[in-house]
Amino acid sequence: MNRSPSHLARRAVSSWSRAQLSITEIDRVREILLPAEMSLWLLQQSRDQRHSVAVWNRFVASYNHATIDEQRAALLHDLGKSKSNVGWLGRIVATLIGGRTKNLQKYLDHEHVGVEMLQGVSSARTLEILSGTASDSAALAIFAADDA
């Protein structure tokens, strides 16, 4: 989705922590995601779960008429990162030098990887947003919430 230098720098700093979400926050996510989506969402590192919830909260606050499928897209936008097995430092390395290894390339291609993970699980609307083919106001609001 967004790879602007300012976004990446803020993301690196905010992802340093390994703090877990509270049970209440996880229960809020569980109310939105389908069971199969939730199982995949839980595979993410805690830093990605926290970021996911932060993006979702900003999206819903700025786009208060979001559908459930659009909210799911906000929560699942970085899901593919879970397949890369790349930690905090590896993410910085991938951003700076590119996909020199299989895992670094998976990290850089996380949007595509996430859509593949969600095929047959998520709605067409959620997949449309996550694949980058949607350019409507909801999709743009998710991108903005991710960049904030």
State pLDDT tens for residues 16-43: 566 889 999 999 999 999 999 999 999 9
State which amino acid sits at residue 40: L
Domain count within the chain: 1
SS3 content of the chain, % helix, strand, coil (to 5): 70, 0, 30
Residue among 25, 17, 76, 71 at smallest CA distance from 46: 17
Residue with tokens 């900003």: 58
pLDDT for 98 equals 60
The pLDDT tens digits of the residues spanning 78-124 come to 898 876 766 655 555 556 666 566 655 565 556 787 888 999 999 99
Helix-helix angle 124-131:110-118, to 10 degrees: 170
Domain that holds residue 17: 5-147
